[in-house]
């Protein structure tokens, strides 16, 4: 079970628009909420439609259109989107209008655009695509579930090209809600110094990453070997067992991994598993990297990790700013991505060059 990444696009808090190369200049934030750097959407979306779109719709549709442009606008056999929060901004606006207007004279726009599947639906409308269309909203598994579905469709021969994406925004109200649950750090910090603060909490993020994946390798593309998910492991031993089985099923030894990309987010409670694995499970010669200081923490941040891994494989270069340790291993042929969301939703992705 595998698929090739034929094109990718990313809208994130970094300068990742219209590039398959890691940005040379990083954006540094001194707040605990990272906001996406958005493109001129008029280049990708009809201006008449733009004014009625919420931010998450613009981000999702914009990233999808960038990805399609790189893929010579081939109409996909399926459109799959993973999102945990969906169009929550429109939902908030609709609920507030219900309260403020006492359930009278309500605008239908925000209600229509408040559902989770609105991003995938808008992409299909713009592309005039009537093929398989699915949205996954499984919290920290949302993007991985979409990816699993995509790889199953390819394996079963039901699709040759698939447009796959992960998208979430952090609205002000969502930020406040999660802050009540002590998700974020108490004091503002620099995102590029995320791991230097050994305390509770992390930084909020958002993003939209889309991929065209295919059964065929047209131009030495990166290959998604496999993806696996597991829920609420009881201890570090169970996590190690899942990783060992995952690698065994893909005929790779843990000592043969060129790079392990981890979802460290600066919360010392949530990062404990990652540190245990680095110190006691993986080889001392293994190269480790992390990514959430660039995009922040959000439920579908693993889509940013996949975009980053694809960049690394295509350019055969690991940026210094993501490195956790320095090893003599300069060969980059495979990357293991391990991420968990709130220590509940754990996922593994193996990416390589065929």
How far is residue 21's CA from residue 290's CA, in Å, rounded to a whole number? Answer: 17
* Torsion angle of C-alpha atoms 74, 168, 143, 291, degrees rounded to 10: 100
Instruction: Grade residue 111 by pLDDT with cuts at 50, 70 and 90.
Output: confident
Give me the pLDDT at residue 198, please.
80
104: pLDDT confidence band, cut at 50, 70 and 90?
confident
Q: pLDDT at residue 219 above 80?
A: no
Alpha helices in the chain (DSSP H): 47-50, 55-70, 88-100, 108-112, 118-127, 142-155, 172-180, 236-249, 272-276, 292-295, 302-315
For residue 270, the model assigns a pLDDT of 95
Which residue bears the tokens 């790779």? Answer: 252
Cβ atoms of 194 and 48 closer than 8 Å: no
Strand order in the sheet with 78-82: 132-136, 78-82, 161-168, 207-214, 3-11, 222-231, 345-353, 334-341, 259-262, 287-290
Instruction: Name which residue leads in pLDDT, 110 or 161.
Output: 161
Q: How confident is the model at residue 27 (pLDDT cuts 50, 70, 90)?
A: very high
Asked if residue 102 has pLDDT above 80, the reply is no
What percent of the chain stands above pLDDT 90?
77
Q: Is the pLDDT of residue 31 over 90?
A: yes
pLDDT band at 74 (very low <50, low <70, confident <90, very high): confident
Q: Which of 40-44, 192-196, 234-238, 330-334 has the lowest mean pLDDT?
A: 330-334
pLDDT at position 166 over 70: yes
Parallel, antiparallel, or unpaired: how do β-strands 334-341 and 207-214 relate?
A: unpaired
Average pLDDT over residues 326-334: 80
State the pLDDT at residue 1: 66
Domains and CATH numbers, the chain: 3-214 (3.40.47.10), 225-353 (3.40.47.10)
The better pLDDT of the pair 24, 261 is held by 261
| CB-side neighbour CA atoms (13 Å) of 73 | 4
pLDDT band at 330 (very low <50, low <70, confident <90, very high): confident
Whether residue 132 is predicted with pLDDT greater than 90 in this model: the reply is yes
Instruction: Calculate the alpha carbon distances from 107 to 96, 104, 218, 284 in Å.
Output: 11, 9, 47, 59
- Predicted local distance difference test score (pLDDT) of residue 177: 93
The mean pLDDT of 58-87, rounded to a whole number, is 92
Average pLDDT over residues 322-348: 91
Reported pTM:
0.95
Instruction: Name the nearest CA neighbour of 35 among 221, 158, 149, 206.
Output: 206
In angstroms, the Cα distances linking 243 to 236, 247, 290 are: 11, 6, 18
Round the average pLDDT of the chain to a whole number and report it: 92
Does residue 329 register a pLDDT over 80? Answer: no
Q: Check residues 88 and 295 and name the one with the higher pLDDT.
A: 295
The per-residue pLDDT for range 168-217, each reduced to its tens digit, is 999 999 999 999 999 999 999 999 999 998 899 999 999 999 999 999 88
């Amino acid at each position: 079970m595998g698929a090739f990444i034929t094109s990718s696009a990313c809208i994130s808090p970094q300068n990742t628009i219209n590039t398959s190369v890691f940005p040379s200049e990083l954006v540094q934030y001194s707040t605990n909420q990272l906001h996406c750097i958005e493109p001129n959407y008029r280049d990708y979306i009809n201006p008449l439609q733009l004014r009625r779109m919420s931010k998450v719709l613009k981000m999702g549709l914009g990233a999808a259109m960038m990805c399609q442009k790189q893929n010579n606008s081939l109409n996909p056999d399926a459109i799959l989107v993973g999102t945990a929060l969906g169009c929550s901004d429109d939902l908030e606006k609709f609920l507030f209008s219900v309260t403020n207007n006492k359930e009278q004279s309500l605008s239908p726009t925000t209600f229509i655009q408040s559902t989770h599947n609105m991003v995938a639906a808008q992409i299909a409308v713009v592309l005039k695509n009537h093929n398989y269309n699915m949205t996954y909203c499984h919290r920290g598994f949302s993007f991985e579930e979409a990816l699993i579905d995509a790889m199953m469709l390819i394996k079963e021969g039901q699709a040759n090209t698939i447009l796959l994406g992960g998208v979430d925004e952090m609205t002000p109200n969502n930020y406040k809600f999660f802050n009540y649950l002590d998700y974020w750090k108490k004091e503002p910090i620099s995102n590029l110094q995320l791991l230097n603060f050994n305390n509770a909490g992390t930084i909020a993020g958002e993003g939209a990453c889309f991929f065209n994946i295919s059964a065929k390798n047209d131009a030495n593309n990166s290959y998604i070997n496999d993806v696996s998910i597991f829920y609420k492991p009881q201890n570090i031993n169970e996590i190690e067992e899942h990783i060992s089985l995952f690698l065994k099923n893909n005929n790779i030894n843990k000592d043969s991994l060129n790079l392990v990309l981890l979802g460290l987010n600066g919360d010392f409670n949530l990062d404990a598993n990652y540190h245990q694995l680095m110190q006691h499970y993986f080889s001392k010669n293994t190269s480790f990297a992390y990514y959430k200081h660039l995009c922040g923490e959000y439920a579908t941040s693993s889509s940013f990790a996949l975009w980053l891994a694809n960049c690394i494989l295509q350019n055969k270069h690991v940026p210094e700013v993501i490195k956790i340790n320095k090893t003599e291993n300069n060969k980059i042929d495979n990357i293991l991505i391990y991420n968990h969301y709130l220590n509940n939703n754990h996922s593994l992705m193996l990416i390589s060059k065929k």
